[in-house]
């Protein structure tokens, strides 16, 4: 019996080892130990091999992406002969100028051609191509080149500067079209594929270039000199390489659906640096038919200046979150004023849908039909109220978007003065009602709140401030947080800390 024991143990060990090997090979993972733990399964794009998906997208979309070359003729007036002498004091034509005109005749105007390159996407069998307005602009000649090498003359059917969208028409048969997706479903981290013709015809091929990345951000806004009169809000940001010449080309998802129109890059060198932007395709969908029909694109308008709600404003108004938009200004005679909206109101819903951000509100107002009545839920004096606003037509120039000693002792670090002609010149003020901030004490509550010299204060705790007297009367009664409105919007100035 004793001799059999080692043999039995050996058999037992061999069986145990075999069981472990089989379990490992078949990946029999114990479930009890994984309880309460979350795992993230990372998958490659569907297909025998991950890259096959990108190959299919390139084949599917690439055939409908075109190259757009433009030519614009500029005329320069002929140079006159410049006399070393001034014009005759008797008002007569300069002798030398008259001499050269008589001898040589009138000099003809000079012409030079400005050429441009961009991309576009065929969206209709009738030959309609979607691109950026800045690609075609005021071009006198447009040439469209398909990936298969066919060339056509392009005609602008419609364009809209504000959205930077244009539709170009070609007379062609047997052309592939792209499928338009839904940009409202785009999420950060999803695959993004940019297709276009960077650097134009430098590569001497009509075949488009494909670059791959992800959606790195949404709801982006570009202002300043780049935007000019364009509304570059609610943009899609991607790290898929976008370079000069990609403008007007599509940004597509992993299904090959167009989710955006490549429009701009952020760069300190002029080349690709990992940050590109695209106009959401839903923005284009809103106006495509109007452009094809040659109609004027009308945008809805409230007539307000709005600002984001930061955490201090949310705390001041006792809001559960930072969603919504705060009305910093209501323009006189605007649809907002006629509908009962007031400065200081917080818009929470528009046409029955929650307002998630400032750009969300701007986009939805702009896409509302002119003349349509919309219900708007607001918070006023910490109470909810529903108003009905009739949306108006956005005007072309809509407003949406010497040492001076202080005459009043600093309150919470703010030194103010009345608005005088000297003050207007010093600070280049466009607003003349209220009082002006001339100094801010470093480290004070006003400094921490972002108040700056040159700010014009016209409301405190929703009470009008027309002059120094109003300012003194209001501020001496405030012991808690103060809601201050300047020409830059609202901010909360807290009371000084006690030491």
Distance of alpha carbon 131 from alpha carbon 241, whole angstroms: 18
CA dihedral (476, 479, 485, 488) positive or negative: positive
Distance of alpha carbon 482 from alpha carbon 312, whole angstroms: 11
Q: How many helices (H) and strands (E) does the chain have?
A: 11, 29
Distance of alpha carbon 212 from alpha carbon 238, whole angstroms: 9
Tokens 């009169």 locate to 229
Catalytic residue among 64, 69, 163, 164: 164
Burial of 22 (0-12, 13-18, 19+ CB in 10 A): exposed
164 catalytic, yes or no?
Answer: yes
Catalytic residue among 119, 134, 160, 470: 134
Evaluate whether 312 touches 492 at the Cβ level (below 8 Å).
yes
Hey, what are 480's tokens? 């808690």
Hey, what are 427's tokens? 């600070």
Instruction: Report H helices in 293-444.
Output: 311-316, 335-338, 358-366, 421-427
Q: Classify strands 250-252 and 300-301 as parallel, antiparallel or unpaired.
A: unpaired
Distance of alpha carbon 178 from alpha carbon 258, whole angstroms: 7
The SS3 assignment for 210 reads strand
Catalytic residue among 247, 345, 357, 360: 247
Angle, CA 398 vertex, CA 393 and CA 400 arms, to 5°: 110
204 catalytic, yes or no?
Answer: no
Closest CA to 393 of 478, 299, 499, 461: 299
Distance of alpha carbon 125 from alpha carbon 261, whole angstroms: 19
27 catalytic, yes or no?
Answer: no
**Backbone angles phi and psi of 112, in degrees to 5:** -140, 150
**Backbone angles phi and psi of 455, in degrees to 5:** -70, 140
Distance of alpha carbon 368 from alpha carbon 108, whole angstroms: 50
Evaluate whether 294 touches 158 at the Cβ level (below 8 Å).
yes
Which amino acids are annotated catalytic?
134, 164, 247
């Amino acid at each position: 019996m004793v001799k059999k024991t080692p043999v039995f143990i050996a058999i037992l060990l061999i069986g145990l080892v075999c069981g472990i090997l089989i379990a490992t090979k078949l990946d029999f993972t114990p479930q009890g130990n994984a309880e309460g733990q979350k795992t993230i399964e990372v998958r490659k794009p569907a297909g025998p091999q991950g890259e096959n998906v990108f190959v299919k997208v390139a084949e599917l979309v690439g055939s409908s992406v075109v190259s757009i070359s433009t030519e614009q003729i500029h005329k320069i007036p002929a140079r006159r002969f410049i006399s070393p002498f001034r014009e005759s004091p008797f008002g007569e034509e300069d002798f030398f100028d008259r001499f050269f005109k008589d001898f040589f005749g009138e000099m003809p105007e000079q012409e030079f051609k400005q050429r441009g390159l961009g991309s576009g996407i065929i969206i209709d069998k009738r030959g309609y191509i979607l691109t950026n307005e800045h690609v075609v602009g005021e071009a006198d000649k447009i040439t469209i080149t398909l990936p298969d090498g066919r060339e056509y003359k392009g005609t602008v059917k419609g364009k809209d500067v504000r959205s930077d969208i244009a539709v170009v028409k070609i007379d062609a048969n047997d052309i592939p079209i792209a499928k338009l997706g839904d940009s409202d479903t785009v999420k950060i981290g999803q695959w993004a594929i940019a297709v276009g013709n960077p650097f134009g015809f430098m590569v001497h091929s009509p075949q488009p270039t494909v670059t791959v990345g992800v959606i790195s951000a949404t709801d982006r806004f570009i202002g300043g000199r780049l935007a000019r009169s364009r509304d570059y809000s609610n943009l899609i940001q991607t790290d898929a390489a976008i370079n000069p010449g990609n403008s007007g080309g599509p940004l597509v998802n992993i299904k090959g659906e167009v989710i955006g129109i490549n429009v701009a890059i952020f760069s300190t060198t002029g080349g690709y640096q990992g940050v590109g932007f695209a106009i959401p395709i839903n923005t284009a969908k809103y106006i495509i038919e109007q452009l094809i029909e040659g109609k004027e694109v009308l945008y809805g308008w409230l007539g307000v200046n709005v600002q984001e709600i930061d955490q201090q404003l949310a705390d001041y108004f006792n809001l559960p979150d930072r969603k919504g938009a705060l009305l910093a200004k209501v323009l006189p005679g605007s649809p907002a004023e006629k509908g009962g909206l007031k400065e200081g109101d917080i818009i929470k819903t528009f046409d029955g849908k929650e307002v998630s951000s400032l750009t969300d509100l701007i986009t939805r107002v702009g896409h509302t039909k002119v003349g349509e009545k919309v219900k708007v839920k607001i918070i006023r004096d910490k109470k909810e109220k529903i108003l009905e606003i009739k949306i108006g037509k956005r005007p072309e120039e809509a407003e949406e978007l010497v040492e001076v000693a202080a005459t009043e002792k600093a309150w919470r670090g703010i030194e103010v003065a009345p608005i005088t002609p000297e003050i207007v010149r010093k600070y280049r003020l466009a607003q003349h009602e209220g009082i002006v901030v001339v100094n801010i004490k470093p480290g004070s509550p006003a400094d921490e709140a972002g108040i700056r010299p040159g700010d014009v204060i016209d409301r405190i705790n929703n009470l009008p401030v027309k002059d120094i007297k109003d300012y003194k009367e209001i501020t001496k009664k405030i012991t808690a947080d103060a809601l201050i409105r300047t020409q830059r919007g609202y901010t909360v100035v807290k009371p000084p800390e006690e030491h």
